[in-house]
Amino acid sequence: MKNYILHDEWKIVEDGFHPEFNEITESLLSLGNGRMGQRGNFEEKFSGKSLQGNYIAGVWFPDKTRVGWWKNGYPNYFAKVINSTNWVGIDVEIDGEELDLNTSEVLNFYRFLDMKTGVLERYSTVRLLNGKEIEIRSKRFCSIADDHAGVIEYSLIPKNFSGKVKITPYLDGSIKNRDANYEETFWEEIAKETSYGQGVLHIKTKENRFKTERFDLVSAMKVDVWHEGKAIEFETLPIKKEKYVGCEISLDLKQDEKTTIYKYVANLSSLDYSAEVLVSETKNYVEKVAAKGFETLQQEHADKWADKWEHCDIEVAGDVAAQQGIRFNIFQLLQTYTGEDARFNIGPKGFTGEKYGGVTYWDTEAYCIPFYLSTSEQKVGRNLLVYRHNHLQKAIENAQKLGFSDGAALYPMVTMNGEECHNEWEITFEEIHRNGAIAYGIYDYINYTGDKKYLVEFGLDVLIGISRFWAQRVNWSSDKQKYVMLGVTGPNEYENNVNNNWYTNYIAVWCLKYTLQSIEEGSKIDANRVNEILSNLNFDWEKETEKWNHIIENMYFPYDPEREVFLQQDGFLDKELLSVSDIAQHRPINQKWSWDRILRSCFIKQADVLQGMYFFEDDFTETELRRNFDFYEPMTVHESSLSPCVHVIHAARLGKKEKAYEMYLRTSRLDLDDYNNDTEDGLHITSMAGTWLSVVKGFGGMRVKDNQLHFSPFLPEQWQIL
């Protein structure tokens, strides 16, 4: 845990330079606007610890799968959002020496991300090896008003000299992914041009062995130079290198006088423009934003942010750290996904790092959708559903690869474009509860918005595909005289390949029921359309619904009649039932124990019985919840950042205030305090939605039932107002 980030209600502040934590700070100071995003890298060269990261939503590359022991059905590639053109770069050379905060003496340093306005600012004075002292002031943002644009205001003030300075704003496409499986690079250059204060770089993802879609990315920059508040004329020397274009500007800087570079950048891709017009559109775009000027752009950007905050701010009084934590989570979630485009989704790290490849997990449906439903326009949540609807055919093909038929759909564990990208059999093939979460997302959206029409527009075919999967995935146990589901991995990934995971069995039956009910609901809205859907899907009403109902009525759920708790899976009671407090010195077990030891222990990564009781809370009495909570909570190590929020919500419902607050603290500042020593890889974006749920559904007790908002709030003792 680290404490170098200042507590502030609206800002993420680093006061004094912490180069040893620079990659963490880069993650924390990430910017995004739903269409692109980037880590908080310095504009100028930095030879210290840094993970360069600029990402464009929906632009990916099929990185060749790395696997030890191949299994039938494994995907050939992992589609990952890739590092793209570095457009923030501005190299500075003073008297022949490169400005580099790693080699210079940093005299003062202050940088912050203003969450209210979405701007990253930096103020620093440094002394170079050659003795020259210079002040740097920089501001930048990814505009949410003009979401293809990024803008930088970069000022230099010589403190103890006057003299020649070379400043080179550039666009650099010769970037790598640190996580590339075989150290491959993913981009090739198509074209570049540069002229007075301008540069254009056109790169394209490489042709690849998997013959997947390729993406063109054109970045254009326009540079203005101001001196003491006035635009000035300047000379530029064009610099061209492989996948790189720069404008070298030589200036005579005067001591104590401020020279400012405005760098306007547009990043347009073939996702939105055809190849023929891509370059010209990008040039037009950058011209348009440059014409507005920095001030106007910043104001429009800030206005948009003000509007967002108007609708989704959470205020906490009496606890600045908590206030900062919750706002940081909201801010990052809103930066990551804006719902403008149903081709995009939410990667576990958003635009803040490479880990997990920027792909979509069940996190979206289980944790993120409720956040966007409550904080954003309806279309935002809806587009997240449409994303899955658009992948239905691929989910059907995915199920076919695993031996399913007749329109059964298995959504991938992780995906970019609907193709499964994961390759661990116990997850890829067996962590099938994700299918249930996707159905639950539809339920959640309709419950919140009342938009039942969604069913006949996009919902029903997804629900039917999912239900068909479940109906084929269970089998009749002659021994139990029940349906069973063998060989699954539940949300608690510290058990693999188990039989009758309670959560998975439960959500499977729920899916079947909800689908039947949705067909009925849909028919009330538009019977013809429903008939058309069923007919398109070759739905055999009698046979399929008979089977579904038979499963609904005869599913097996592991249960302990003695303790009166649902059992996580068959055989759970054969384990040595210990408490997390018994293994204090062994934690985190995922770092200290071998996998077999984790698997045969009772310890739980995230408690899936409790996850199920959260999704379907109305199905259970408070007594039932209490028994199960008291049974599973002590065995839960919460080594998934998605785990504690469910415990907060249950603990709140059960009046366990201290437990609720204790659990809340685990995630509220997970990244700000680098709780898990991994913030340098990027932020835990999807678990931020979990933290939001803790506050809103936990402390706030907010529910939507029968088209009405319900609250059952309690205030943690540490807070004055929520």
- Residues annotated catalytic, as ranges: 493
Binding residue (CB under 8 A) for a copy of itself from 274, 478, 581, 707: 478
Contact residues for 231 (Cβ-Cβ < 8 A; gap 6+):
224, 225
Q: Choose, by CB under 8 A, the member of 597, 630, 658, 718 that binds a copy of itself.
A: 597
Closer CB to a copy of itself, 179 or 617, in the complex: 179
Q: Given the structure tokens 């039947």, which residue do they identify? A: 516
Residue with tokens 């003792």: 717
Based on CB atoms, which residue is closest to a copy of itself, 280 or 477?
A: 477
- Ranges within 88-127 binding a copy of itself (CB under 8 A): none
CB of 498 to a copy of itself, least distance (A): 8
- Residue 624 CB burial class (10 angstroms; 0-12, 13-18, ≥19): middle
Share in percent of the chain as helix, strand, coil (round to 5): 40, 25, 40
d(CA 20, CA 17): 9
Contact segment (CB under 8 A) with a copy of itself among 13-21, 282-290, 345-353, 472-480 equals: 472-480
Q: Which of 18, 49, 65, 300 is the binder for a copy of itself (CB under 8 A)?
A: 65
Choose the stretch contacting a copy of itself; rule: CB under 8 A; options: 82-90, 285-293, 396-404, 677-685.
396-404
Q: Are 714 and 652 in contact (CB under 8 A)?
A: yes
Q: Any contact of residue 575 with a copy of itself (CB under 8 A)? A: yes
Which has the closest alpha carbon to 26: 3, 58, 54?
54
CB of residue 591 to a copy of itself, shortest distance in Å: 7
- State yes or no: residue 424 binds a copy of itself (CB under 8 A): yes
Helices assigned H by DSSP within 450-573: 453-454, 460-473, 502-536, 541-554
Q: How many residues does the chain have?
A: 722
Q: Does residue 588 bind a copy of itself (CB under 8 A)?
A: no
Q: Report if residue 76 touches a copy of itself, rule: CB under 8 A.
A: no
Residue 403-422 contact track with a copy of itself, rule CB under 8 A, x = bound: x-------------------
Choose between 11 and 422: whose C-beta lies nearer to a copy of itself.
Answer: 422
* Shortest distance, position 558 Cβ to a copy of itself, whole Å: 11
Q: Which is nearer to a copy of itself, 16 or 588 (CB)?
A: 588
Interaction between residue 166 and a copy of itself (CB under 8 A) = no
Stretch that binds a copy of itself, among 104-112, 388-396, 593-601, 675-683 (CB under 8 A): 593-601
Q: How far is the CB of 284 from a copy of itself (least distance, A)?
A: 44
Q: Given the complex with a copy of itself, which of 65 and 378 has the nearer CB atom?
A: 65
3-state secondary structure 604-650: ECCCHHHHHHHHCHHHCCHHHHHHHHHHHHHHECCCCCCCHHHHHHH
Determine the size of the site formed for a copy of itself (CB under 8 A): 48
Q: Would you give the binding string for a copy of itself spanning residues 522-561, x where CB under 8 A is met? A: ----------------------------------------
Please say whether the beta carbons of 563 and 627 come within 8 A: yes
Q: Which of 16, 71, 178, 564 binds a copy of itself (CB under 8 A)?
A: 71
Which residue, 122 or 434, has its beta carbon nearer to a copy of itself?
A: 434
Q: List Cα–Cα distances, 366 to 64, 458, 577, in angstroms.
A: 29, 19, 28
Q: Could you say whether residue 159 binds a copy of itself (CB under 8 A)?
A: no
Tell which positions 228-287 bind a copy of itself, by CB under 8 A: none
> Between helices 433-449 and 460-473, what is the axis angle to 10°?
150
SS3 522: helix
What is the SS3 assignment for 293-340?
HHHHHHHHHHHHHHHHHHHHCCCCECCHHHHHHHHHHHHHHHHHCCCC
Q: Given candidates 208, 477, 523, 676, which one binds a copy of itself under the rule CB under 8 A? A: 477
Between 196 and 476, name the residue whose CB sits nearer to a copy of itself.
476
Tell me the C-alpha distance between 544 and 677, whole Å.
50
Rg of the chain over CA atoms, in angstroms?
27
Q: Does 574 bind a copy of itself (CB under 8 A)?
A: yes
Helix axes 320-336, 275-312, angle to 10 degrees: 150
Tokens for 647, please give them.
Answer: 């415990």
584 binds a copy of itself (CB under 8 A): no
On the 0-12 / 13-18 / 19+ scale of CB atoms within 10 A, 280 is middle
Counting contacts by CB under 8 A, is residue 677 touching a copy of itself? no
Asked if residue 481 binds a copy of itself (CB under 8 A), the reply is no
Give the DSSP H or E segment for 664: helix 657-668
Name residue, tokens 């995004």.
Answer: 32
Site for a copy of itself contains 423 (CB under 8 A):
yes
399 vs 429: CA distance, rounded Å: 9
Q: Which of 591, 623, 707, 708 binds a copy of itself (CB under 8 A)?
A: 591
Rounded to whole angstroms, the Cα distance separating 663 from 685 reads: 18
**DSSP code of residue 488:** B
- Site stretch for a copy of itself (CB under 8 A), options 9-17, 210-218, 388-396, 572-580: 572-580
Stretch touching a copy of itself by CB under 8 A, among 147-155, 186-194, 585-593, 709-717 = 585-593
Beta strands 105-114; 119-127: pairing state: antiparallel
Is 585 a residue that touches a copy of itself (CB under 8 A)? no
Distance CA 609, CA 22 (A): 39
Assess contact for 364 and 345: CB atoms under 8 A.
yes
Which of 130/475 has CB closer to a copy of itself?
Answer: 475
Q: C-beta of 477: minimal distance to a copy of itself in Å? A: 4
Say whether residue 33 binds a copy of itself (CB under 8 A): no
> Which residue's CB is nearer to a copy of itself, number 4 or number 425?
425
Q: Is 209 in the site for a copy of itself (CB under 8 A)?
A: no
Closest CA to 371 of 668, 690, 710, 714: 690
Q: Does 453 bind a copy of itself (CB under 8 A)?
A: no
Tokens of 485: 């589901």
Q: Of 10, 210, 593, 616, which lies in the binding site for a copy of itself, with binding defined by CB under 8 A?
A: 593
Beta bridge partners of 253: 163
| Shortest CB 77 distance to a copy of itself, Å | 12
Contact string 485-504 vs a copy of itself (x = CB under 8 A): -xx--------xxxxx----
Our finding on whether 594 is near a copy of itself (CB under 8 A) is yes
Q: Which of the stretches 112-120, 160-168, 433-441, 481-489 binds a copy of itself when contact is defined by CB under 8 A?
A: 481-489
Nearest to 612 by CA among 509, 705, 471: 509
Rounded Cα distance between 682 and 349, Å, is 6
Residues that bind a copy of itself in the complex, under the rule CB under 8 A: 65-69, 71-73, 401-403, 423-426, 429-430, 475-480, 484, 486-487, 496-500, 570-571, 573-577, 590-597, 599-600
